[in-house]
Structure 1
Amino acid sequence: MSGQIKYQWRITKYNPDYRDENGYYTLKEEWTCPSEIGKIIDGKEFTLEEYLDIEAKYIDTLIAFIIESGLNTLRILQLSEQKISTEDRSSVLYETEFDELILEEDKIVTLNDIVIISKMILRNFVHCQLYLKDRFFAHFGWDYYMYIGSSEKSLSAITIATERGLFVEEIDSSPYYFLEEDTTRLVQWSKKENELGMNEGDEELLEFPLEELRLIFNLSSQHPVVGNIKIKIEYKDFFQRYLNHKMDFDKYEYFFWGGY
């Protein structure tokens, strides 16, 4: 994803003074996931109230970075399937607005939407990234790590984060950020009767028109054409032109994959 993302930060509740030479946090036992609510962490119960307080600090910080970057909307990138189960709805972390907000790949979302989406991601109800090409991204990683990239220095947002007790570390690159020249794009296939969906094979796409892929998948010119997308049979002729594998939709399901 090429562009003018000049600054990148890792933002967490973990004090970097207590990382070892390999970057591991060593100060004390810490909760790393909201599923640990109710457990004894470092000698005391990790409460819902404590979780919600930290979550709000992360989301307030993200919104501050977005606003200081001069933005009021972002797009959704690499969206996982939005499927909230009956069990999910019985969780103390579930909110009815999670079902009310319909998420789609490449959809433009407002600041209010981003607050809801961030809750869903941090609470493990859905996964996606938020971005605006060449201007901004927000990535949520394992163990309650948040990564932000911007074209702006965002000094006020950094202050807001630190005042809320979070730690902002400038980094070279988010582990989820990659440039167009680093991107690989494949066609993958699996047998239809394979319930596990394990890949039978894959082949890299080379020298193909990226803009045509955007049209096929109904993506905007902003979208970097990464992620995992099912290939419909009506686009067989397009993909077959760039593959040695002979496509057989009676036998296989086909997926496009793009990433690093």
Structure 2
Amino acid sequence: MGNHIKYQWRITKYNPNFRNNEGHYTKELEWTSPSHIGKKIYGETFTLEEYLKVETAYIDTIIKFLDVNHIKSLRIINTTYIDVDMDSALYNKLYDKKLDNLHLKDDQEVTIDQIRLIFKMVLRGFIYCHFISSNFFVHFGDEYYMFIGTNNYQEEPLKFAKKNNLFVEEMVSPFYINEENVVRTIIWTPINEDIVAGEEILTDIPIEEYRKIMKLSNTHPVIGVFPITSSNEEFFRKKLSHNIDTNKYQYYLSAGD
């Protein structure tokens, strides 16, 4: 993701002893969402208190990583608010309205004070994003899969995670992409439609140039989908063999592996 991250782990509530040779988790009954609160798992009701204990372990583990790495802020990328049933009892119980005051947007820098709240809202399924700095990341997948990467190996946060009943496994995050493996493409769709009408791969453009033209921070990996706007349209017009026609199509920069 721009910078090479040397040490990476999967840190979860899932005991690897229950994985088969293909790495699939075989324990049949396991809560994977806050929506399971109040339901029976192996005959026992899964309580809010049990959920909060695990959630706190995840969040405190991340904070411990930030502490030992002397990281005071992170940037959020690939940020998406998730549609939820705002009338549900679960929503009223788990949604923290302080999130509304943050007005989060992609590539925003967030402080330690804000980070706890955002982590909580990600784990509860109200928002999706990844967290990055120049030499550190936190990625959340579905069903409480968390991936942490750093270039500063420290035992303390790993021991902390284990002490709080989380399982630490050395593993490269499935969301981690080295810059040399990133493919960036311009795609276009008919206006007001989602069907891709065409695409063209971009080559030989340094990541720093993308960051500058897209007005992104110098830590942003330029991975994801970005609308082409009037402010950067001319830059991409010069890079494409396709003749850009904004009366007919909407254009996007799509970047991934």
**TM-score between the two structures when normalised by the length of structure 1:** 0.91
SS at match of 2:252: strand
**Residue in 2 that maps onto 1:178:** 177
Which residue does the alignment assign to 1:132? 133
Contact 1:203 1:243 in 2 (8 A): yes
1:202 counterpart letter in structure 2: E
Rate the CA distance shift 1:65–1:41 in 2: closer, same or farther, 3 A.
same
Match of 2:219 among 219, 222, 229: 222
Q: Is the 8 A contact 1:61 1:160 kept in 2?
A: yes
Q: Percent identity?
A: 42
Q: CA deviation at 1:24?
A: 1.5
1:241 aligns with 2:247: no
The separation in 2 between residues aligned to 1:114 and 1:175, in whole angstroms, is: 22
Structure 2: which amino acid aligns with 1:108?
E
**Partner Cα separation in structure 2 for residue 212 and residue 82 of structure 1:** 31
In structure 1, C-alpha distance between the alignment counterparts of 2:160 and 2:234, rounded to whole Å: 52
Deviation at 1:21, TM superposition (A): 0.3
Letter in 2 for 1:31: W
CA RMSD between the two structures: 2.0
Q: How far apart are the structure 2 equivalents of 1:163 and 1:122?
A: 20
- Deviant stretches of 4+, over 4 Å: 81-90
1:168 aligned residue: 168
d(CA) in 2 for partners of 1:154, 1:245 = 49
Cα deviation, residue 114, structure 1: 1.1
Secondary structure in structure 1 of the residue aligned to 2:173: coil
Q: Distance in 2 between matches of 1:145 and 1:23?
A: 13
Separation in 2, partners of 1:71, 1:177: 20
Of 101-110 and 152-161, the range deviating more from structure 2: 101-110
SS of 1:129's partner is strand
Matching residue's letter, 2:26: T
The alignment of Structure 1 onto Structure 2 pairs a total of residues equal to: 256
Deviations 1:167-207 (A, max 9, x none): 11112x1111110011011112111132xx23222221112
CA displacement 1:191-233 (0-9 Å, x = unmatched)? 1132xx2322222111234333212221122212111111113
Deviates more, 1:250-259 or 1:37-46: 37-46
Partners of 1:69 and 1:151 within 8 A in 2: no
Structure 2 segments unaligned to the other structure (5+ residues): none
CA 1:189 to 1:42, structure 2 compared with 1: closer, same or farther past 3 Å? farther
Cα distance per residue 1:4-35 (max 9 Å; x no partner): 52211110111111211011122341011222
- State whether residues 86 and 92 of structure 2, in contact with CA within 8 Å, keep that contact through their aligned partners in structure 1: no
How do 1:198-209 residues align onto structure 2 when only pairs under 5 Å count? Answer: 198-209=195-206
Quote the residue 1:255 is aligned against: 252
Mapped to 1, the partners of 2:230 and 2:82 lie a distance apart of 24
Q: How do 1:1-260 and structure 2 match up within 5 A? A: 1-81=1-81, 86-87=86-87, 90-133=91-134, 135-171=135-171, 173-194=172-193, 197-260=194-257
Aligned residue identity for 1:185? R
Kept in 1, the 8 Å contact 2:55–2:123? The answer is: yes
Q: Distance in 2 between matches of 1:211 and 1:87?
A: 44
Contact 2:138 2:146 in 1 (8 A): yes
Whole-Å Cα distance in 2 between the matches of residues 250 and 94 of structure 1?
41
Q: Give the Cα separation in 2 of the matches to 1:204 and 1:87.
A: 44
